[in-house]
Amino acid sequence: MTKTGPQKIPGASQAYFYGNGRYSGSSMEVNCGVVHTTEGMSLPSYNGGAMAPTVTGVPNMKDRTIRWYQHYDVDESARALANKLGGVETNTANAFQIELVGTCDDKYAKTWAGKRAGVDYIHWPTAPEWALAEVAWLVRWLNQHHGIPLTCVKDWLAYGKDSRRPGVTPASYGASPARMSMSAWRSFKGWCGHQHVPENDHGDPGSMNFARVIAIAKGQQAQPPKEDDMPTPYDLWAYKGRGEKRDAYAYLRTTEAKVNTLTTQVAALTATVNKLAQLAGSDIDTDRVVAAVEKAIADALTDQA
């Protein structure tokens, strides 16, 4: 089958690409997406590609961005879904698969191993708006270039304990009400979670608000952050746009050196102007000349910034 459209995600790292090695997949034409969570805080090894999704999103909590690591071409089957003998195909059923680094387990909604949700990691059912917007960027790109519909399943069950069997099974695990039938999966297009795919028993990504992701992907404006989640002045200045950051500290060090140099030059020029005024007589407006020199230097500093 011929792969159509761009196969590499713009800006995604190819450092852990498995599509040209032992675990390369089959060609297909994606028409649906499956969302997983890693239940960890760093990029998994995936056993060298044996269990890899199409792409992994690693949140940068400081910069409020997601770094994408691509493991397979867009139109190439990945390996993050279980696929039993007989029944239906899963990985090869035109499914684009995203792993989101973080957790969907509500017991980690606030803290996890001494770390804080929203500060050190993402609890995806309560993910901040910026994180959902980052996922929406990829969802929109896949819609524009590969036609995956901007729709998703309705029910995203919480990754909580089943009240009927306390302490035994997460409610979104196993044969949950959210799990698709084989026939429903065969005709499915749009976005779902691992918890929805037949022949699988995992319950991720829990009650992630994927409807909000779809809304942002369709063009609804992302909500401004809450006051306690506002970026610092450094964050606001350093962020120029997706995939482009400024090294603010290096810039400030360079600018400080320029300011010091220009301050010295201003002082020297001021002394020179004053001396020239004395030589030329009293008709020269020394203050206007000095102000003009200082303005020219300030303009030059602005241009260099």
Q: Please tell me the distance from the alpha carbon of residue 79 to that of residue 12, in angstroms, as a whole number.
A: 19
Q: Please tell me the distance from the alpha carbon of residue 9 to that of residue 86, in angstroms, as a whole number.
A: 33
Mean pLDDT of the chain: 85
Q: Please tell me the distance from the alpha carbon of residue 24 to that of residue 232, in angstroms, as a whole number.
A: 43
pLDDT in tens, the chain (305 residues): 779 999 999 999 999 999 999 999 999 999 999 999 999 999 999 999 999 999 999 999 999 999 999 999 999 999 999 999 999 999 999 999 999 999 999 999 999 999 999 999 999 999 999 999 999 999 999 999 999 999 999 999 999 666 566 666 778 988 889 999 999 999 999 999 999 999 999 999 999 999 999 999 999 987 777 655 555 444 444 444 444 444 444 444 555 566 566 666 767 766 766 666 666 665 666 667 667 666 766 665 555 55
The whole-number pLDDT of residue 245 equals 43
- Listed residue (195, 215, 224) closest to 128, CA to CA: 224
CB 115 within 8 A of CB 102: no
The whole-number pLDDT of residue 302 equals 55
| Tokens linked to 219 | 């063009």
User: The tokens 């102000």 sit on which residue?
Assistant: 291
The whole-number pLDDT of residue 128 equals 98
Q: Please tell me the distance from the alpha carbon of residue 233 to that of residue 181, in angstroms, as a whole number.
A: 50
CB 96 within 8 A of CB 9: no
Spell out the residues 6+ positions from residue 172 whose beta carbon is closer than 8 angstroms to its own: 157, 158, 159, 178, 195, 203, 204, 206
- Listed residue (160, 22, 5, 152) closest to 79, CA to CA: 22
CB 7 within 8 A of CB 19: no
Burial status of residue 161 (CB atoms within 10 A of its CB: 0-12, 13-18, 19 or more): middle
pTM: 0.74
Cα→Cα distances 173→143, 160, 162, 197, 204, Å: 29, 9, 9, 11, 8
Residue 50: what residue type?
A: A
Cα→Cα distances 136→3, 23, 158, 222, Å: 23, 28, 21, 10
Q: Please tell me the distance from the alpha carbon of residue 27 to that of residue 73, in angstroms, as a whole number.
A: 9
Please write the tens of the pLDDT for every residue from 100-142: 999 999 999 999 999 999 999 999 999 999 999 999 999 999 9
Report all structural domains of the chain as residue ranges with CATH numbers, in order of start.
32-231 (3.40.80), 248-304 (no CATH)
CB 100 within 8 A of CB 75: no
Q: Please tell me the distance from the alpha carbon of residue 177 to that of residue 193, in angstroms, as a whole number.
A: 13
